[in-house]
Chain A
Amino acid sequence: MPEILPIGGGKGGVGKSFISANLGALIAKRGKRVVLVDLDLGASNLHSFLGITPHRDGLNSFLNKKSSCLENVALPTDHANLYFISSVNCSMEIANLYHAQKLKLLTAIAKLPFDYVLLDLGAGTNFNTLDFFLTSNQGVIVCTPDPTSIENAFRFIKAAYLRSIKHVIKSNGFCETIKNAVLENETPSMTASNIIDMVIRHDPAKEEFLRERISHIKFHFILNQFRKNSDPALGEKLKMVCNRHFYSCFEFLGNIRFEERVPSAIVSKKLFIREHPEAAAASDLYRIAEQLLQKLPGG
């Protein structure tokens, strides 16, 4: 069973694919077998960060049953131990993945014969993205020190949090009142704390169980595009605030300093850390990869 590491964060353009590609390469360099999966369905560009143009089949061949095994559509990269499953050749309608396809994909991901599977997720908080994120309890949230990015990151965390609470309630014999309220009426304004309050009122015995389950979800923050005038304590503050106000567990992995040469590395089809190993951002990525490997069970 691989260690699955979803990389999400709500906002687009904050560097999820950049971080996935480079972290993947750094982990592979440590001798671990790594596969990157581009799950930004309908807006894939992980291949660009890797400097690959995937002509061959990718996720599409698996989803349309041409290839029976997800492993077979993983392309080698020019980095040892690093493989890549692209979604760039998927149909134009791939963003609206069917439920059954999603389940098939999640099951196949969990069985990939690699040490690490990095899932590069899309922006937004649609159910597919949230479920990809929640397929592991150790996701990474990428954001930048900008209000809009932080707003979207909080939104993403709240949405993921709410969805996992709903999953727990759905499958663990909670009393009917709660199930109905949470699952069937789908009150749009229902928040995680409403649900917890409701559990306290109607099924107090389950409250601790619910809290215990959501306390297992771990979020790792990375602050990307960190600039000289950004608050150096921001990451720690985010971590502190989230640990205080959510029941899940939050860690801060570090800042990645802003780097203006990222686009030019893409154009020259080179992975950033390989092209600019001396860059400040490269050493930040290296440090974060080390930290992650220490924290993950498979490290």
Chain B
Amino acid sequence: MKAFEAQNYYQLLKIPMDADLITIKRAYREALSIYGEEALATYSLFPEEQRTQLLQTIETAFHTLIDTHRRTVYDQMLRDSGQVHEAHDPMRTIRTSDASSSRIATCDPQDLRSRVKEKYSDEKIRSMADQIIAKDQISGLELKCLREELGVEISEIFKEMRIPKSTLNHIEADEYASLPVEVYLKSFLKSYAQILQVDSQRVIEGYFRRIALSDG
């Protein structure tokens, strides 16, 4: 059983580093509904002691992130200890502390960003992205095509944004039943759109509209 040790507060609550207060509160409630003492989802999964510890960590994470001052100090600590890259970076990245993945050659986020940017100088790719974004409904398949056209690998998005690869695959395969709950999905789509350098709000809206219409 893995615990929370290797995760920072943002990873623990599954929110991006620039999450606003509402997102943080929602993620906190979600975490409690999973790890709380009366939660069915973890009933009997952890020994009592471990559950108490997990809950304490969640509490600390929440109270740190909703307090502007403590959050600033915490973010500074993450940066100083090299766990995340520069602040105010639109692509703020959480660098993994996991030994197994750091062994794989990591590519520089700056590098990825400029690579994608360069691809967009190609008129064909630019207009493909514009067309997809202009659509009312956006499918995972379309996003996948765009990603491939831009030469971005699933593993790069995983490394940059810590979105599980299986989730990325579900998003791209339009396997709606396997997608995470709304709040996570939104934040994943946002990160995904940021990597592809397209309007994240439109991607989220388009994707959700398509889910809604595919239902029933």
Residues of A whose CB lies within 8 Å of any CB of B are 145, 147, 150-151, 154-155, 191-193, 208, 211, 231, 233-234, 236-238, 240-241, 243-247, 249, 251-254, 287, 291, 294
Known: A147-B44, A150-B44, A236-B181. 7 other contacts (CB 8 A): A147-B43, A154-B43, A211-B100, A236-B180, A243-B166, A253-B177, A291-B175
Residue of B1, B41, B177 near A287 (CB, 8 A) is: B177
Which interface class (under 10, 10 to 19, 20 to 34, 35 or more) fits B? Answer: 20 to 34
The answer on a CB contact under 8 Å between A231 and B164 is: no
Total A-B pairs in contact (CB under 8 Å)?
63
Q: Which of chain B's residues has its CB closest to A244's CB?
A: B2
The answer on a CB contact under 8 Å between B34 and A237 is: yes
Residues of B whose CB lies within 8 Å of any CB of A are 1-3, 33-34, 39-45, 100, 164, 166, 175, 177-178, 180-181
Given known pairs A236-B180, A240-B180, A287-B177, the reply for A246 and B40 (CB within 8 Å) is: no
Give the Cβ gap from A224 to chain B, nearest Cβ, in Å.
Answer: 15
The answer on a CB contact under 8 Å between B40 and A234 is: yes
A interface secondary structure, majority: helix
Q: Which residues of A contact B2 (CB under 8 A)?
A: 193, 244-247
Q: Which residues of B contact A254 (CB under 8 A)?
A: 177
The answer on a CB contact under 8 Å between A245 and B3 is: yes
What are 12 A-B pairs with beta-carbon distances under 8 A? A191-B1, A193-B1, A231-B41, A236-B180, A237-B33, A237-B39, A241-B34, A243-B164, A243-B166, A249-B166, A254-B177, A294-B175
Give the Cβ gap from A209 to chain B, nearest Cβ, in Å.
Answer: 11
B interface secondary structure, majority: loop
- The CA of A258 and the CA of B17, in the complex, are separated in Å by 41
Q: Which of chain A's residues has its CB closest to B167's CB?
A: A243
Q: Which of chain B's residues has its CB closest to A154's CB?
A: B45
Q: Which of chain A's residues has its CB closest to B170's CB?
A: A251
> Which of B41, B100, B166, B178 is packed against the most chain A CB atoms within 10 Å?
B41
The answer on a CB contact under 8 Å between B40 and A252 is: no
Give the Cβ gap from B58 to chain A, nearest Cβ, in Å.
Answer: 13
Give the Cβ gap from A237 to chain B, nearest Cβ, in Å.
Answer: 4
Give the Cβ gap from A203 to chain B, nearest Cβ, in Å.
Answer: 15
- 6 closest A-B pairs by beta carbon, nearest first, are A237-B41, A151-B44, A147-B43, A150-B43, A193-B1, A245-B1
Give the Cβ gap from B44 to chain A, nearest Cβ, in Å.
Answer: 4
Q: Which residues of B contact A247 (CB under 8 A)?
A: 2
The answer on a CB contact under 8 Å between A145 and B40 is: yes
- The CA of A80 and the CA of B100, in the complex, are separated in Å by 49
The answer on a CB contact under 8 Å between A240 and B34 is: yes
Give the Cβ gap from B108 to chain A, nearest Cβ, in Å.
Answer: 24
- The CA of A41 and the CA of B3, in the complex, are separated in Å by 37
The answer on a CB contact under 8 Å between B40 and A241 is: no
